[in-house]
Structure 1
Amino acid sequence: MERNNSYDEKPAVMVTNDDGIDAPGLRALVRVLVSSNRFRVLVCAPDSEKSAVSHSITWRHPVSVKQVDINGATAYAVSGTPADCTSLGISEALFSTVPDLVISGINMGSNCGYHIIYSGTVAGAREAFFNDIPAVSISYDWVGGKSSVDDYILAAEACLPIFNAIIAEVKNKSYPLRGFLNIDLPTDLANHKGYKLTKQGKTIFKMGWRQITSERQGGKMLSTMEMESDSSARTEIDTSTIAGGDLFFQREVRGAQVDDDDTDQQFLQEGYITVTPLGALSQAETDYVSYFEEWLPSAVQRFSSSAL
């Protein structure tokens, strides 16, 4: 796969996300990239919100593509997932060149810890990594009542030095392709404490389910998956009230597991811009792997013998 090798022209940067092509985070990011006058900006993003779809792809059905007017960029809305959008955008089927950098975001809500697995935003960058293209996923720790859409501009501007540095390394053919970067920006971005290289932690919201009366009552799950728990909404199920016997349930948060050591979530909450290198898959912990070094041959021998 050949990239834009002519640096007489601006390097190509492709933007995707999981909040949809009309999301304020994506529009702010594109605006800052265009205003910098350093990049040729391409956009290939979902035509609607696709939060928490992880790395799902469209396989058996075609996706539809529609050109969208975004000032300073060549932009397309796609009916597929974030991973679909990245795959299509880097394929040269849609754009004339392969982008030098893929940026996925800016997501509404943080993506730290185990939430990285659920994240469509992170998947948009991971798909580029699968294809040996430098990639960054970006999320802003949006908090209702404190955050505003103007914070997305600050977030994009704070990431601009990282984009410039990556492009410089790409130009020099010295940028490593063994992983990709996940960036989370703190809520009080104007007073952030600086950039912190971190590692993925184990933070996760513990999820449950509650019955709702209809599919319409469910509403939208924020990409952060930070929903308020309403234990009073959990009631006995009365199937006689459900037309046709259909039951409807929606996820809800019933607690959280939060890291207390030196990980992405901790430093984000302390006010740092966290930069977390990621690979394709999370590796099992060393002691867990060590356990199975003795367990596997023993288990096979024991249960093979007992089966005779």
Structure 2
Amino acid sequence: MWGAKMQQTADSTGNAVGKALSVSEVTAIEYNRWMVEEEHKKLAEERKDQHNVERSLRKELRDKYVGLGAEHYREDKEAMKSVSGGLEYHRKQNHDKGSIVKAEVAELTKKMHDQQTSWQQHGSSLAQEFGSDQKRKVKASLTATTARKREKAQAERALLGDLEKSRTERRNQAVDNRRELRELIQGQTSDAVTQEAKNLFFEQRKVIGDDTRSAMKKWKEERSKQQEKKTSKALEARAAAKAAQQAAKESIETVRAQRSQSAKEMRERKAFVEGSGAKGKAETKHNNKVVHDMMKSQMFVNPILAEDMKAKAGKRYAELTRSAPATGSAE
């Protein structure tokens, strides 16, 4: 009866007597632990990629805001520079015109003073040269000269009047120019223009803000979806890990029970063999092999799974070696 039970156990493992058992040196517990670690690494890499995408989006938005601010600053600076340049141009033009008129008046006044001094000196020299005998002639000459001087003075006064009139016209023109420039500046900086610029700036900022809020909303929705997906994957991985742990635990308990049962049967069989002679020894050897193969097949995974695990672990190690910075000096 006991021999029949051992034969049935050997048939259930799928291995006949004399066939080699196809197992690897990797235990089922190690293989399950490796599967859980691989799932965790995969989740970590996905989260790292998501962080990189989020970082790129934040940098793009920040660069966009900085560029818009710099552009608005340049526009305001150019506008102020244009207004200041126009004011400085009109001020310099009026100053140049005034300097020219002042120079002309000063030159004409100097000529009149020099001519008057020359006439006085000439009259004195004539009086000394001709004496009292020539006073009448000198007086007549002086009278004629005075008349000429009067006429010339009148002509010069008329010329001065024209110059003064021209200077007055230029001054009035300068006043008009300053008034027009002031009105132009006031028009460009009036409350209505300022408010219109503020409204335009507000609308631009509002459009940018709406676009930014829309982009951030889409990004948050997408991130929420990705987070839900990752949470779901994490829960599935956790459930798979727990299931693998439970399976490993049950496998260990099964192996222990089988070992206990096998030991019990072996003890019974040993007692039976001791009384059966050489035939019992051969059967004992066979049964020992069956029990050994059965326990080994339950404790270790098959070679295909073990080779797959080793290949993936080797590939990951090679990737880490390539990405890590080189240390030490080459021989």
TM-score (norm 2): 0.12
Larger Rg: 2
More helix by share: 2
**Greater length-normalized contact order (CA 8 Å, ≥ 6 residues apart):** 2
TM-score (norm 1): 0.13
